[in-house]
Amino acid sequence: MGIAESILLTIATAATPLLIAAMGELVVERSGVLNLGVEGMMVMGAVCGFAAAALTGSPWMGVFGGILAGVVMSLLFAFLTLSIATNQVATGLSLTLLGLGLSGMIGESFVGSAGRKLPVLDLPVLSDLPLVGRLVFGQDPIFYMSIALTLGVSWFLFRTRAGLTLRSIGDSHSSAHALGISVIGYRYLAVMFGGACAGLAGAHLSLVYTPQWVENMTAGRGWIALALVVFASWRPLRVLAGAYLFGAVTIGQLHAQALGFGIPSQLLSSLPYLATIVVLVLISRNRRLTLMNTPASLGQPFVPER
């Protein structure tokens, strides 16, 4: 395997959890809900995915366990913010803190345990093609899920009646409610979908990216996923491009450390987060770009009239 092919493979692997988590959050925010608990759902998906795979011996049960953990966490968030109308920002932050603490407790007995890695696709002829062989035909199954998820979300939001309804709720939940649309019902489904995606992204970390459990192994990826949604101005295909851009930054700093550049390793490790801050600052300077696709009801509580 050539150096270029190896770098492209590692970029794809690093970008996949960011893409999945950001795609789920995009759907949540398109419904008008702001869930800052992505990091907590991701880390719970990582620990529960690893635990399920270790206890059953099946990495696919680990994938299911990660998704289930994300959905359960999202239901807690949905109940608090949608059913009893708590503040979405405060609840999301609390969810992240809960996830980080709970995952450390659950994963304590799994530290140092051997992981169960998802097998990669291996097509004898196609996988041997130069440069693109392993990149296109030799990836793990979650990579292909992430691409299908991107296309599916794009089609759903802009080509289906249900997607149009979801976007209308995000733009004006009061008007949608006046038309007889179940605002709370749609938002519950959107939040659960976002939780499933965050859980799957976490499972990818502990079953593919580094098949082991390490406390706080998400390392801020949930926050990067949140920034990606804004960076992409709530458009799925732009999220795809942004995820791979941030994946390249993450892998770039690892290669820079390996080559022994005279730059402190701590500074290199902070590059993905510095890039996130720079991107958000640049976007915030363009008021028109910021407001172009922002759901008008984002973060606003909705209490239907009795």
The CATH number of whichever domain residue 170 belongs to comes to 1.10.3470
Which is nearest to 66 in space by CA: 97, 107, 101? 107
**pLDDT at residue 267 in the model:** 65
pLDDT reading at 287 higher than 90:
no
Q: Rounded CA gap, 37 and 40, in Å?
A: 5
Higher pLDDT, 207 or 249: 207
Q: Is the model's pTM score more than 0.75?
A: yes
Percent of the chain, pLDDT > 70?
88
pLDDT mean over 225-229 = 92
Range with the poorest average pLDDT among 67-76, 159-168, 291-300: 291-300
Q: Evaluate whether residue 306 is within a structural domain.
A: no
Range with the poorest average pLDDT among 60-69, 127-136, 255-264, 275-284: 255-264
Structurally, the chain folds into a number of domains equal to 1
* Structural domain boundaries, residue 281: 3-292
pLDDT reading at 269 higher than 70:
no
Q: Rounded CA gap, 139 and 233, in Å?
A: 28
Higher pLDDT, 3 or 190: 190
Q: Rounded CA gap, 31 and 16, in Å?
A: 23
**pLDDT at residue 233 in the model:** 86
pLDDT reading at 209 higher than 80:
yes
- Tell me the torsion sign for CA atoms 299, 300, 304, 306: positive
* Residue 273 confidence class, pLDDT cut points 50, 70, 90: confident
Burial of 160 (0-12, 13-18, 19+ CB in 10 A): exposed
* Residue 10 confidence class, pLDDT cut points 50, 70, 90: confident
Q: Evaluate whether residue 56 is within a structural domain.
A: yes
Range with the poorest average pLDDT among 29-43, 80-94, 206-220, 250-264: 250-264
**pLDDT at residue 121 in the model:** 80
Percent of the chain, pLDDT > 90?
58
Q: Evaluate whether residue 33 is within a structural domain.
A: yes
pLDDT mean over 116-126 = 79
Phi, psi of 142 (to 5 degrees): -70, -30
Average pLDDT along the chain: 88
**pLDDT at residue 259 in the model:** 60
Q: Evaluate whether residue 301 is within a structural domain.
A: no
Q: Rounded CA gap, 26 and 38, in Å?
A: 11
pLDDT mean over 115-123 = 82
pLDDT reading at 244 higher than 60:
yes
**pLDDT at residue 144 in the model:** 93
pLDDT mean over 237-252 = 86
**pLDDT at residue 284 in the model:** 67
Which structure tokens are listed for 42?
């991701």
Q: Evaluate whether residue 304 is within a structural domain.
A: no
Which is nearest to 49 in space by CA: 82, 25, 20? 20
Per DSSP, the three-state class of 252 is helix
pLDDT mean over 110-136 = 77
**pLDDT at residue 56 in the model:** 93
* Residue 132 confidence class, pLDDT cut points 50, 70, 90: confident
Higher pLDDT, 68 or 256: 68
Q: Evaluate whether residue 264 is within a structural domain.
A: yes
pLDDT mean over 112-127 = 79
Contacts of 275 (CB under 8 A, 6+ apart): 246, 249
**pLDDT at residue 149 in the model:** 97
Q: Evaluate whether residue 303 is within a structural domain.
A: no
Which is nearest to 103 in space by CA: 61, 72, 126? 72
Q: Rounded CA gap, 54 and 150, in Å?
A: 29
Which structure tokens are listed for 183?
């605002």
Which structure tokens are listed for 148?
């299908």
**pLDDT at residue 249 in the model:** 81
Q: Evaluate whether residue 297 is within a structural domain.
A: no
